Structure 1
Amino acid sequence: MYRKRLELRGRVAVVITIFVLLQFKHFSVSFVPVCSFHTVRQDHLRSFSSRINLQQTIEDRIYPCSSSSPNQSDQRCSTGLYFHIPYCRQRCRYCDFAIVPIGNAATNDPLSSRRTVGFEQMNDRYINALLAEIRQTPLTSSRKIPLQSIYFGGGTPSLAPIKSIATILQCACRTADAPFVLDPDAEITMEMDPGTFDLSQLQALKELGVNRISLGVQSLDDAILEGMGRFHRRQDIGQAICDIAKVFGGTGDVANYSIDLISGAPGLTLAKWVDTLQEVTCGDLFAPVRPNHISIYDLQIEVGTVFDKIYGNRQDDGNSSPKRKVDEKGGPLRLPTEEECAFMYKYAAGYLRAKSFEHYEVSSYAYAPTNINRKDASDNQIKPSWRSRHNQIYWDYEGSWYAMGLGATSFVNRNLVARPRTMSDYLEWVEKETNGANVVKSNDADDFLPDLLLKRLRTSDGLDLGWVEQQYGDDVVKGVLKGAQLGLELELATLTEAHVLRLQDPDGFLYSNFIISSIFAELGLADDESQKDFYVFEPLLTRFVLRVAVYRISQIGLKFKRLFEENFVDSALFYACCNSSIPPSSDHKCYCNCQAPTPFPHLSQAASKSAP
């Protein structure tokens, strides 16, 4: 019955897609209706299949195992180590991560919180548990394990005492009996929140070998930060950037640090989003030193969070979808619409590309001035960039990562090991279990396939179909192509001469969940359990699941009409600002001051009036 429904929806989808594209082809911004990609034309399938040399083997190509900073992509034999530091001042209103709130809400002083006796006792027990996990690692390996990356995530690792970080690194890779050994150019990243560290702490971390910072900025607007339950403010961000500049310096006007931003946050407007991106790349706040990496996560309303209570709308199936509340006096801030979130995503992609940032993964941008114009180059032609080496390991074909700590999930030899998410359960687990317990996925190749598809198609490097053919056979390659067929026809995806399937930036990325789901359905991976796995494992790759506009087939006409009647003025103008495919046609500039000419001069005045 499920497959029949997909086939029927697929036939209807093709007709509707053609109609909609014909109706709106004259607009510079077009939305592709979300529908099933199950039914495709066999003649197109054969034409795409014929372009693939199924005898090509992975050994005929070069895939570097390590690289110098800035790093290269597609490291197929890399290994990373993740430590979860769960401490936070308090739980943010969107957060469902495994954390332990320790901050003093009354004084807003995280430093004094770390000096309490209760925290010191808890921290000692937790660090001892991490050390026990580290010492268990040799049980699965007879030699030291080379590491290309160590990542301290959370939580807020910058709330941990420096001596705790030093102890962890010493036990892991800096003693004779340590199970790991660091590559000479290994990347060591520390997540930090503004207002949780000072200059001396940053200097101490550098002396320990930390060479990359991930700064949890999230927003530059104090009202939005407060609405999300964040403790830091814009002033704290400025101080953090000044400290990073003093300690880490930079090459030119950038340093090896990343910032996190949240789009789709309550109170965020298109104008504020434009201002945020401009401030990061051109403004005074980041003038001391600019980031070489930006992660942009679209806000996801997670079940059980404070935002779920405010904005969530429980459905009969138990799922939660956002309610669009408008801001009222004394009430919650307005949550951006799905259409606004989609345009924020597309605008960020165009703007950051113009600023020499490579959109190398759905949520990730790396400073890479030599890569931004790459179209269909083969993998070994990719130039160096400032991609996150640790995240690259997550997305690699054969990447492995050891993970330790509360709620952490490791993936070694295709075995997934999940740890408990509460402190008491985790401490008990470490005491009783040996390394390798609680395996939630086997090392069966069929179990690995869904995660591989999900990971690779979220990256600009894409999915190597030659590798897929070697691992899984001809039928799987044909299934992947058939599932991606409508995406290929609508130019949401491309198939390169090197037999790599890639999603287009930004539209293909915007609809990545639906293209991947179509491939899952074609390969028979779309049963209920597979769908659960799909959503369960997505947070391993990014903090927030990308949210896009979803239109039911029966509502497509109405939705498109309302979109273009009510939102076209603002949306078209914002996207036109930095869309390099739109040639300048007048002397009018966008009101957002990004200095990009707009081909819609008659809309500038209207947009200026509508801007907050």
Structure 2
Amino acid sequence: MSQGSQKPQAVYLHIPFCTNKCFYCDFNSYVLKNQPVMEYLQGLEREMERTVKEVPPGEIKTIFVGGGTPTVLKPDEMEYFLKTVRTYFPNWSDSIEFSMEANPGTTDLEKLSAMREGGVNRISFGVQSFQNELLKGIGRIHDTDDVYQSLENARKAGFENMSIDLMFGLPNQTVEMLAESVDKALALGLPHYSIYSLKVEENTLFHTMYKKNQLPLPNEDDELQMYQLLMDRMKKAGYEQYEISNFAKPGYHSRHNMAYWLNEDYYGLGAGAHGYVGHQRHMNIKGVNPYTEATKEGLPRLETFTVPKEEAMEDFMMVGLRVLSGVSESHFKEQFGLAIEEVFAEPLHKMLDAGLMEKTGEGYRLSEQGLLFGNDVFGTFIGSLTAKE
């Protein structure tokens, strides 16, 4: 989809509530207790109404509900929320992917049934680990029994397309622990897995602990071994690694995330949500009450800006190279009217010579070695144009 030539076909919706704040989390989320949830959902409906009047949607191919933990909504709140989504984005593709993030500690059959009846057809469970001691150490509220129960309930509610998130590089995690988690995850036979490395972000408990030298993280060699182990295990189990952190059975890659990685337009609705439509990026007001109040007056924007062409081209390379198929020459030319080679000759040659990237029939991609050092590759493109201005 070329930016500006089609109406947006992807929708992101943010539910900012959680039962508690995980120790590593820097997302825009708030502990649920005493929060005005229904007022927030009504504000979200107002934002949907104003948004589609301003930028009418095309045929919706993907919807993703993130957080926070969207599954903390009560069944009646969930029904109301999903009804408003269908009201303002009614033109769904026959093959729509409608995903919702879920915490294994916040799902029961009634809630999952309300989600399925409301159109959700894909769930991403934040499992993170199959060791209860590690889960406790990162501030998760669920245990491994909750994981199995939630998956059973989801299947009873009619879900087939399910994914789980795992993390590696956690405090006190060993390579053997990760191997056990991967084995237990694969035993579930799900169509999709996301496996991320821990990043210690500012404004988190882990960052405070890290600064005080109180965070017992694995060393770099162990973390590299963890990544190589999970890539090997997933490949042997028949999963395609289609993005640095994502693995899928054929036909089950996350189409919503692919819209981000291909630099396509998407609506971003809810407190703190980001959207990208027609070369314009926006970020919404973050706080629950300030956001809700702002929706009564207009669109709840914190900032809106046109993305300069140079920055958009850098973004294209940075996010596109996360995908293992790489960046497409034709897609780049379609968006920017230029060839990748003429824009990024210097960083391209540097990475090709270093063996971290390789040429494909379609464009460029990370090499096997480049996969292990993706951030180094991305860093050569960030600022390579904008720094010259």
Q: 2:146 aligns with which of 236, 253, 256?
A: 236
TM (normalized to structure 1)? 0.59
Deviations along 1:275-334, whole A, 9 cap, x unmatched? 11111113xxx3xxx221111111111112111111236xxxxxxxxx5x5xxxxxx6x3
Q: Does residue 513 of the first structure (1) align with residue 375 of the second (2)?
A: yes
CA drift at 1:180: 4.2
Q: 1:154 aligns with which of 52, 67, 88?
A: 67
Summarize the Cα distance change of 1:199–1:475 in structure 2 as closer, same or farther, 3 Å threshold.
Answer: closer
Q: How does 1:251-330 map to 2 (within 5 A)?
A: 255-282=160-187, 286=188, 290-312=189-211, 323=213
Q: Does residue 428 of the first structure (1) align with residue 293 of the second (2)?
A: yes
SS of match in other structure, 1:336: coil
1:4 is matched with which residue? Answer: none
1:559 is matched with which residue? Answer: none
CA distance in 1, matches of 2:239, 2:292: 42
CA distance in 2, matches of 1:215, 1:441: 33
2:386 is matched with which residue? Answer: 525
Letter in 2 for 1:235: D
CA distance in 2, matches of 1:148, 1:472: 24
TM (normalized to structure 2)? 0.91
Q: 1:488 aligns with which of 339, 346, 352?
A: 352
Letter in 2 for 1:138: V
Q: How does 1:549-560 map to 2 (within 5 A)?
A: none
Q: Does residue 442 of the first structure (1) align with residue 303 of the second (2)?
A: no
Kept in 1: contact 2:163–2:194 (CA 8 A): yes
CA drift at 1:474: 5.6
Kept in 2: contact 1:411–1:417 (CA 8 A): yes
CA distance in 2, matches of 1:469, 1:269: 45
SS of match in other structure, 2:92: strand
SS of match in other structure, 2:285: coil
Deviations along 1:37-93, whole A, 9 cap, x unmatched? xxxxxxxxxxxxxxxxxxxxxxxxxx89xxxxxxxxxxx986211111111111111
CA distance in 1, matches of 2:173, 2:103: 20
Summarize the Cα distance change of 1:393–1:467 in structure 2 as closer, same or farther, 3 Å threshold.
Answer: closer
1:406 is matched with which residue? Answer: 271
Kept in 2: contact 1:149–1:186 (CA 8 A): yes
1:172 is matched with which residue? Answer: 85
CA drift at 1:469: 4.4
Q: How does 1:74-93 map to 2 (within 5 A)?
A: 79-93=9-23
Summarize the Cα distance change of 1:366–1:269 in structure 2 as closer, same or farther, 3 Å threshold.
Answer: same
Letter in 1 for 2:61: Q
Deviations along 1:157-202, whole A, 9 cap, x unmatched? 111122223223323334xxx3542112211111111121112221
Matched-pair identity in %? 27
Kept in 1: contact 2:44–2:292 (CA 8 A): no
The size of the alignment, in residue pairs, is 386
Deviations along 1:6-58, whole A, 9 cap, x unmatched? xxxxxxxxxxxxxxxxxxxxxxxxxxxxxxxxxxxxxxxxxxxxxxxxxxxxx
Summarize the Cα distance change of 1:308–1:279 in structure 2 as closer, same or farther, 3 Å threshold.
Answer: same
2:253 is matched with which residue? Answer: 387
SS of match in other structure, 1:257: strand
CA drift at 1:438: 4.3
SS of match in other structure, 1:291: coil
Computed over aligned residues only, the root mean square deviation of the Cα atoms, in angstroms, reads: 2.4
2:316 is matched with which residue? Answer: 452
CA distance in 1, matches of 2:305, 2:11: 19
CA distance in 2, matches of 1:87, 1:470: 39
CA drift at 1:360: 1.0
CA distance in 2, matches of 1:474, 1:204: 47
Letter in 2 for 1:210: V
Kept in 2: contact 1:145–1:180 (CA 8 A): no
SS of match in other structure, 2:230: helix
Kept in 2: contact 1:494–1:501 (CA 8 A): yes
Unpaired runs of 5+ residues, structure 2, are: none
CA distance in 1, matches of 2:125, 2:174: 23
Summarize the Cα distance change of 1:390–1:497 in structure 2 as closer, same or farther, 3 Å threshold.
Answer: closer
Summarize the Cα distance change of 1:130–1:471 in structure 2 as closer, same or farther, 3 Å threshold.
Answer: closer
CA drift at 1:472: 4.3
CA drift at 1:439: 4.2
2:114 is matched with which residue? Answer: 204
CA drift at 1:102: 2.2
Greater strand content: 2
2:222 is matched with which residue? Answer: 340
SS of match in other structure, 2:106: coil
Kept in 2: contact 1:484–1:515 (CA 8 A): no
CA drift at 1:497: 2.6
Letter in 1 for 2:375: N
CA distance in 1, matches of 2:339, 2:157: 54
CA distance in 1, matches of 2:345, 2:243: 21
Kept in 2: contact 1:482–1:519 (CA 8 A): no
Deviations along 1:184-221, whole A, 9 cap, x unmatched? 22111111111211122212221111111100101111
Unpaired runs of 5+ residues, structure 1, are: 1-62, 65-75, 104-117, 250-254, 314-322, 326-331, 369-384, 531-612
